[in-house]
Amino acid sequence: MSFTLFADARLALARDSLAGLSVGDALGSQYFVPGRHPADLAAGSLPPPPWEWTDDTEMACSVVAELAESGRVDRDRLALAFADRAEPYRGYGPGAVTILRLIRTGTPWPVAAASAFDGQGSCGNGAAMRVAPLGAYFADSPTRAALEARASAEVTHAHPEGIAGAVAVAVAAATAARGRLDGDRPAADRLLAGVAGAVDPASEVHRRVRRAAELLGHPLPRVVAALGNGSRVTAQDTVGFTLWVAATHLHDYPAAIRECVAAGGDVDTTAAIVGGIVAAYTGVGTPGGVPTDWLTAREPLPTWTP
């Protein structure tokens, strides 16, 4: 069934996803602080606030600001927004630091992005980590979500795997938000099949999304061994795993985040991706949604966030 989504309804979906993304990022990054143990979270104990967010959230806020402003991704404007707003101490990847510095000092984004990693372009997980709210914004069209996700990725990630990772996460978030609007939770296998159908079939990201579907119902260590946990910081090593977690725990935000923390690896980014997708389905302060005390513990978002 086709339907019309008004701009403020789109933005509300994107903002709920951003809440889930930023809380996942901020809580996940707590487990890189010495003395914090994943087992504490599993036992129900939260780290003391404030939980500071990282580059994942800063860039996601720019994506949402761009959508609020124009309802689509203008690559030139998004590239400048990423570059101008980047606070250096937020934990940006080394490739991103260089690309954003080039853009800030006048290099056109296509040149800056293409020059990364000896001309291969970045296949880091950075395009995937910031894109879930964009998917939620396009809850009415996974095709449009995929298109705009590609545009949002290209300004920093010229490598096909980096782009495929962003497309996969955006389509998952669009499907999750659509399920929320329909009042009908998408089944895990259907969700993953829809994502696989939208992603470049030649990519490793595609292969791992397919593998994630085969691993539904399997224990976490087995899943991490097959799909990764982001420890390589690439899209290939991150996205299939995060989609397995999100598809498995789509109705239960805290359980989804606990799973990311238990898996180890690039925890702020896996929890940001998973949190952004799951919150697009659950919302905030709802049963199974982003807990309000977790939201309060997170450092406030930048003042310019819509």
What is the binding site for ligand AR6 (CB under 6 A)? 54-56, 91-96, 117, 120, 122-126, 129, 159, 233-234, 266, 268-269
According to CB under 5 A, which residues from 90 to 109 bind Mg ion? 91
Window of 73-81, 89-97, 199-207, 244-252 that interacts with Mg ion by CB under 5 A: 89-97
Window of 86-94, 110-118, 205-213, 247-255 that interacts with Mg ion by CB under 5 A: 86-94
**165 contact choice in ligand AR6, Mg ion, none (CB below 5 to 8 Å, kind-dependent):** none
User: Which whole-number Å values give the CA distances from 147 to 64, 158, 166, 187, 262, in the listed order?
Assistant: 16, 15, 10, 24, 33
**289 contact choice in ligand AR6, Mg ion, none (CB below 5 to 8 Å, kind-dependent):** none
According to CB under 5 A, which residues from 143 to 162 bind Mg ion? none
Nearer to Mg ion by Cβ, of 186 and 265: the residue is 265
Window of 6-14, 73-81, 115-123, 263-271 that interacts with Mg ion by CB under 5 A: 263-271
Nearer to Mg ion by Cβ, of 130 and 180: the residue is 130
**148 contact choice in ligand AR6, Mg ion, none (CB below 5 to 8 Å, kind-dependent):** none
Contact assessment for residue 27 and residue 294, using Cβ atoms and an 8 Å cutoff: yes
Kindly tell me which residue out of 268, 270, 298, 301 binds Mg ion, with binding defined by CB under 5 A. Answer: 268
Nearer to Mg ion by Cβ, of 161 and 268: the residue is 268
**283 contact choice in ligand AR6, Mg ion, none (CB below 5 to 8 Å, kind-dependent):** none
**117 contact choice in ligand AR6, Mg ion, none (CB below 5 to 8 Å, kind-dependent):** ligand AR6
Nearer to Mg ion by Cβ, of 271 and 278: the residue is 271
Kindly tell me which residue out of 17, 30, 54, 234 binds Mg ion, with binding defined by CB under 5 A. Answer: 54
Q: Does 266 bind Mg ion (CB under 5 A)?
A: no
Contact assessment for residue 173 and residue 128, using Cβ atoms and an 8 Å cutoff: no
**203 contact choice in Mg ion, ligand AR6, none (CB below 5 to 8 Å, kind-dependent):** none
Instruction: Tell me the number of residues near Mg ion by CB under 5 A.
Output: 5
**3-class secondary structure per residue, the chain:** CCCCCCHHHHHHHHHHHHHHHHHHHHHHHHHHCCCCCHHHHHCCCCCCCCECCCHHHHHHHHHHHHHHHHCCCCHHHHHHHHHHHCCHHHCCCHHHHHHHHHHHCCCCHHHHHHHHHHHCCCCECHHHHCCHHHHHHCCCCHHHHHHHHHHHHHCCCCCHHHHHHHHHHHHHHHHHHHHHHHCCCCCHHHHHHHHHHHCCCCCHHHHHHHHHHHCCCCCHHHHHHHHCCCCCCECCCCHHHHHHHHHHCCCCHHHHHHHHHHHCCCHHHHHHHHHHHHHHHHCECCCCCECHHHHHHECCCCCCCC
Nearer to ligand AR6 by Cβ, of 90 and 251: the residue is 90
> CB 293 → ligand AR6: shortest distance, Å?
24
Nearer to ligand AR6 by Cβ, of 29 and 175: the residue is 29
Question: String of b and e for 72-84 (b: at least 16 CB within 10 Å)?
Answer: ebebeebbbbbbe
Closest residue to Mg ion: CB criterion? 54
**Measured distance CA(58)–CA(77) in Å, rounded:** 16
Residues contributing to the site for Mg ion (CB under 5 A): 54-56, 91, 268
